[in-house]
Amino acid sequence: MRMISVLTKWIVLVGCIANPALGKVLAYESFNLETSELLIADFEGDTYGDWQVAGEAFGPGPAQGTLPNQMQVSGFKGKGLVNTFYQGDGTTGTLTSPAFTIERNFINFLIGGGGHPGQTCMNLLADGKVVRTAAGPNIQSGGSEQLDWQSWNVSELAGQTVRIQIVDQHTGGWGHINVDHIVQSNTRRQVIANKERTFELQKKYLNFPVKTGAANRLVRLFIDKQCVREFQIEIAPEDPDFWVYLDVSEFAGNQGTLQIDRYDSTWQTGFDAVTHADTFPGQDTLYHEKLRPQFHFTSRRGWNNDTNGMVYYKGQYHLFYQHNPYGWNWGNMTWGHAVSADMIHWQEWPDAIHPDALGTIFSGSAVVDHNNTAGLQTGHEKTLVAFYTSAGGSSPWSQGKPFTQSMAYSNDAGKTWNKYEHNPVVKHIVGGNRDPKVFWHDATNQWVMVLFLDGKRMAFFTSPDLKTWTKQSELDSFFECPELFELPVDGNTSGTKWILYGASGEYFVGRFDGKKFVPEGGAVRFQYGNCFYASQTFNDIPPSDGRRIQMAWGQIAMPDMPFNQMVLFPVSLTLHTTPEGIRMFAEPIREIQSLHQQHWQRTNLTVKPGDNPLADIKGELFRVIAEFKPQDAQSCSLVVRDIPIVYDAAKQQLTCLDKSAPLAPIDGKIRLEVLVDRMSIEIFANSGQVYMPLGVNLTAKPDSLQWNCTGGNGMIEKLDVYTLKSIWY
């Protein structure tokens, strides 16, 4: 355990002196000693040094963070701390410091754990008597193992000799105490509970500074004493990484009270830096950020994951998605919302569905209620109805609530959303049941819901009105995020099959009668990439279009950005007869052509080893379409910005990075299509028989292309290269 003097400024090492009271050698650093901090203990050693230990609760020495069977401990400094959860809450004891002299006005310390005064606490002793005391915050189930700053004003004890004693004499729930980083200081450091600020809400945003990795704080917005927003945020104590915003435009004209559960008195930015404005910091560089994908959807701010609620209505494709609007990491699950006329160019609308007392808002789907079966339509617009999981227990509002299925609706073409007053519409069934996929089933003239139950089990429900649901069957199938739809085989609309899949994309081909799905064979692999997850297809695309279009979460980290993750490029799904059976193919939607810029073409070109017919092509964003015959070549490669996509002719295998897929030539020929963005390469082979979406950071890679052959000559029958323009500007 180190004991040193820590200066706030002008630190100069002038020597070392022995401190008999503490029995330790102190590094004595002083240019302005009266304004420095004196570190009493930081518990970074293997033992407690000269502190006196009694009982068993303190273990053999300082804990290195979280102990076995304990919730995650956070908020401590360095690696070590006092944590009396040693062998659980049943152990007791005390830990007493050597004597030291009060030389500053305050003693600041980090403390957490049990809130039992006199039993789970830290005391300041003078002449053997308790003159100051502090306890942790927790006395009931739930709670948090986070340590926060507290402070004692000890100015009246200046010059006196004192000791600190850390106490654990409680054996029930929260029968432990956590302490770290005890210092003497002339600056008070404490965490204030439920500090508030008031705003007259006349502008669009409340802006918050974020520091990724900072302690999470719970923030609430109250209108007329009613909590209308609640979220956790890594609010920046200083030097924010980026800013996020809370859109308050719907509350314009009201007074809003913003409350933070824990406020650190020493923050240089933090809660006091929250501003009310019609813009947000960083808006002027929006979509120009270094890692921002240029033709894939990403949220302006915060985390995104699963695609949700994909539905078409009156010329607009609505994309909802799992969204943390307030940070880089997963959390605060809310339905983000974006709209597009072509599934290429997206406009981000305000978040649609926010957490409430039933939980945060997990994944689901949306439909157009053309016949007003739910009776919710109030105007000329058809009602859009969204189904989502209320993830009980996932927010402070919803502690103790189970996972249930809820409904929200819009009567203004998706601009605003109201939650159904009788939610949930499907009560808890088992475990983490979630992710309702709802659609209209023409053959039986009813609504169908597919719901993930638990393990790898799905359930099928029906409803006449979207509000009352009856379970019809269950099936062992796939893990979470179910999807169910019908497709023609080989384009024959009179011969169709149903597809059921889960989050990974694996699928069954089978039959569905409106109540029960019957697989015709085992699970089939859909994709061969490293970033595909939790996809969904659009409901209500007009029959005149006839396509089944899918968009998936691209699990691709965007480090040091104000946003994180992306959505993969939309693909059109079709069913085809193959030697292996009926298989689902995926190809990029035809609207990609709207992004074409420069165009190069090569035809009927023999490529010898060492040749590169693409040497003169430069660019950042590409679409490449190639039809080639390996002929005598052992391998043919398209090298995209230094990343090889290799076809091994002998193995009949396509490989990129560490992913491979079987790929046999058709009439001796391979067809390859590749989309290249800043953070991804998406590969489609033989008209989508192989789909390989890959996350890879290309921003520091050369802006070049190569076509290589090894071991012999290959033939390019036709090769088209397009540079692509950004969808953002």
Q: Tell me the CB-side half-sphere exposure of residue 390, using CA atoms within 13 A.
A: 27
Helix extents (H) in 377-461: none
Catalytic residues: 306
At position 697, the amino acid (one-letter code) is N
Q: Per the structure block, which two tokens stand in for 409?
A: 């609706």
Residues 206/262, Cβ–Cβ less than 8 Å: no
Q: Per the structure block, which two tokens stand in for 286?
A: 């929006």
| Whole-angstrom Cα Rg for the chain | 31
Q: E strands, 120-202, where? A: 120-126, 129-135, 145-146, 148-153, 161-168, 177-185, 191-200
Q: How many other CB atoms are found less than 10 A from the CB of residue 717?
A: 15
- Alpha-carbon distances of 491 from 440, 537, 549, 550, 573, rounded to whole Å: 22, 18, 15, 18, 11
Identify which of 586, 590, 566, 434 has the alpha carbon closest to the alpha carbon of residue 505. Answer: 586
418-451 in b/e form (b: 16+ CB < 10 A) is: ebbeebbbbeebeebbbbbbbbbbeeeebbbbbb
Q: How many other CB atoms are found less than 10 A from the CB of residue 645?
A: 22
Task: Report the DSSP beta bridge partners of residue 632.
Answer: none
Q: Is the dihedral of CA 539, 544, 546, 552 positive or negative?
A: negative
Task: Report the DSSP beta bridge partners of residue 533.
Answer: 553
The full DSSP string for 379-396 is SSSPEEEEEEEEETTSSG
Helix and strand tally (H, E) in the chain? 0, 56
C-alpha span between 200 and 140 (Å, rounded): 36
| Gap between the terminal Cα atoms of the chain | 56
The backbone region for 614, taken as left when phi is positive above 0, alpha when psi lies in -120 to 50, beta otherwise, is alpha
C-alpha span between 595 and 513 (Å, rounded): 41
C-alpha span between 138 and 170 (Å, rounded): 13
The backbone region for 86, taken as left when phi is positive above 0, alpha when psi lies in -120 to 50, beta otherwise, is beta
- Alpha-carbon distances of 556 from 38, 425, 532, rounded to whole Å: 45, 34, 9
Q: What are phi and psi of 590, to 5 degrees?
A: -65, -20
Quick check: helix, strand or coil at residue 158? coil
279-316 in b/e form (b: 16+ CB < 10 A) is: ebbbeeebeebebbbbbbbbbbbbbbbbbbbbbbbeee
Residues 153/106, Cβ–Cβ less than 8 Å: yes
Identify which of 579, 457, 477, 470 has the alpha carbon closest to the alpha carbon of residue 514. Answer: 470
Q: Is the dihedral of CA 210, 212, 214, 216 positive or negative?
A: positive
